[in-house]
Amino acid sequence: MSSERLEELLWLRADGTLNEEEREELAALLATHPDAHRVEREVEDLALQLSRLPRVAAPPELRDRIGRALAGARSPLPADTDRQVARLRPKTGWPGRLLPLAAGLVLGAAITQLLHLGTGPASDGSRAVGSMQATPLERPQEVDLGGDVGSVQLDPGNGTLAVELRLVGDARVTLALAAEAEEPRLVATGHSGGSECTVATEGGRVVLRARGPGLHRLWVDAPDAAQRLRLEVAIAGVGVVERWVEVGPSGGPP
Amino acid sequence: MTSDRDAMLVAACLRGDRSAFDELVNRYQHVLYHAAYSITGSVDDAMDVTQSAFLNAYEKLHTFDPAGRFFSWLYRIAVNQALNLVRRRRPAVDLDECLPGTERDPEQAADEAEVNRRLHHALMALEPEQRALVTLKHLEGLSYREIGALLEVSEQTVKSRLFSARRRLRSILAAEGVTP
């Protein structure tokens, strides 16, 4: 017990948080404990070595990766209505004075949809679309995988496809991106939650496998000549989505 | 002063100025990366965590309480993501060998690099939570209170867990025949 207490007090001293009472207790232990000076030296040396561990510099490419990820990010504006407005905005941003007008339009559209279709918008405010259709994409668009599975959001542009796979259930989902000739290039990934998640390049495809509630993001560049990527999604090994996504030329208009 | 500038940048970002967030990225990418690397022990994981932390912070910026410090909020996101990542990947991942060298004489630099390498390996043998505590205390120089705020535990809990972590670290080093 006194050995443990001795070490505890030595660490408190190394941290500079020893109070007067503890200081006296430590002095007594140092005077009487048979191993006191060895333990004291070891604690001091370890504290010194820890403080001297070099800082690891971030790789130069990190800044670019973060920039690319943010380019495909959702707007930080609060509330669902504002988020829908943000989705309608070009990435360069609308002047602030147009936001209320856009919010009104979105609200009107939502009400119209409720009146005409008799169904409400999806839980996150986005429009649900058929999962097997191969309609041309507008940016961004959501593919519903079912209420107990989740959704995929696609945001193509500038030769890059930003994919966000949002899972709400425990289904195992495989999402693959391929191009016609050359391999697509995985630019960046981001993950939050989920019990399983792997991203790999397999057989010329970028493949994300995920399971459990979580959010997974990929940014994938199409080969310059292709300007489009093939998206396939399977739930528990059963294909549910197959479509081509136009991503435009690299460096093209957003 | 830094906090004031951060608060201004956050407010600008919430008004739609994306470049304001870029300045926050420039300001904090290295410190977040270092913390993520210290916890995960992997360059790739640290890059993923740093990128993901900024992305989550950006998208959830409207939930940030301006009464608090932006950096603390951002740092907490990164530390929690790093911890979640390594918890999912237990046992601990291998350490990427990328510790920076020093500019002192080669022999001394080699000795120092060896000490650092062994210390890193011992750190990687700790439980993720213990590694995070040691990282935050010794590598980031945070106080018990700051660590408690980040990990949402009391100062007393930090003190007690930190003691266990450092005691374990000493025993790992001793078992490897390394006397600090």
The ranges assigned to domains in chain B are: 2-88, 106-175
Topology of domain B106-175, per CATH? Arc Repressor Mutant, subunit A (1.10.10)
Total beta-carbon pairs less than 8 A apart between chain A and chain B: 142
Question: Are the beta carbons of A173 and A233 closer than 8 angstroms?
Answer: yes
* Average pLDDT per 10 consecutive residues for chain B, totaling 180 residues: 80 89 93 90 92 94 88 91 81 46 60 81 89 89 88 91 95 79
Q: pLDDT tens digit string along A223-248?
A: 877 788 889 888 877 777 888 888 88
Question: Are the beta carbons of B129 and B84 closer than 8 angstroms?
Answer: no
Element (H, E) at A150: strand A150-157
Domain B2-88 sits in CATH at 1.10.1740.10
Instruction: Specify the pLDDT at position A191.
Output: 77
Closest CB from B25, B52, B134 relative to A192: B52
CB contact under 8 A, B22 and A77: no
CB contact under 8 A, B15 and A54: no
Closest CB from B37, B48, B170 relative to A46: B170
Question: Are the beta carbons of A216 and A164 closer than 8 angstroms?
Answer: yes
* Residue A78, CA atoms < 13 Å, CB-side half-sphere: 7
**Percent of chain A scored above 70 by pLDDT?**
74
CB contacts of B21 in chain A (<8 Å) are 70, 76
Sign of CA dihedral B52, B58, B63, B68: positive
Distances (CA, A) of B40 to B1, B30, B37, B123, B127: 31, 15, 5, 10, 11
Distances (CA, A) of B117 to A68, A193, A219, B125: 33, 31, 34, 13
Closest CB from B37, B163, B179 relative to A8: B163
Distances (CA, A) of B85 to A29, B48, B88: 41, 10, 5
Average pLDDT across chain A, whole number? 75
Question: Are the beta carbons of A77 and A93 closer than 8 angstroms?
Answer: no
More confident site: B99 or A126: B99
Token pair of B80 as six digits: 């929690």
Question: Are the beta carbons of A217 and A69 closer than 8 angstroms?
Answer: yes
CA distance, residue B116 to nearest chain A CA (Å)? 6
Token pair of A201 as six digits: 């390049």
Element (H, E) at A90: none
Instruction: Classify residue B33 as exposed, middle or buried by CB count within 10 Å of its CB (0-12, 13-18, 19+).
Output: buried
Per DSSP, A125 falls in state: S
Q: Is pLDDT of A131 > 70?
A: no
Instruction: Specify the pLDDT at position A117.
Output: 41
Q: Is pLDDT of A125 > 80?
A: no
Where does residue A19 fall: left (phi above 0), alpha (psi -120 to 50 degrees), or beta otherwise? Answer: beta
Q: How far apart are CA B48 and CA B36, in angstroms?
A: 9
pTM value is 0.53
- CATH 2.40.37.10: does it fit domain A134-254? no
Report, as an integer, the average pLDDT of A138-144. Answer: 74
Q: How far apart are CA A9 and CA A40, in angstroms?
A: 10
ipTM of the complex: 0.78
Nearest chain A residue to B81 by CA distance is: A192
CA distance, residue B16 to nearest chain A CA (Å)? 7
**Domain boundaries of chain A, sorted by first residue:** 2-52, 62-121, 134-254
Nearest chain B residue to A83 by CA distance is: B59
Q: pLDDT tens digit string along A145-173?
A: 887 788 898 888 778 888 888 888 778 88
Does residue B128 have a cis peptide bond before it, meaning omega lies within 30 degrees of 0? no
Q: How far apart are CA B74 and CA B77, in angstroms?
A: 5
Q: pLDDT tens digit string along A59-81?
A: 999 999 999 999 888 888 755 43
Q: Bridge partners of A241?
A: A233
Q: Write the DSSP string, A198-250.
A: EEEEETTEEEEEEESSEEEEEEEEPPTTT-EEEEEEEETTEEEEEEEEE---T
Scan residues 136-155 of A and list those with Cβ closer than 8 Å to B: none
Cβ contacts of A119 within 8 Å, gap of 6 or more = A113
Which residue in this structure is represented by tokens 């995929």? A152
CB contact under 8 A, B81 and A62: no
Which region among A25-29, A127-131, B117-121 has the lowest average model confidence (pLDDT)?
A127-131
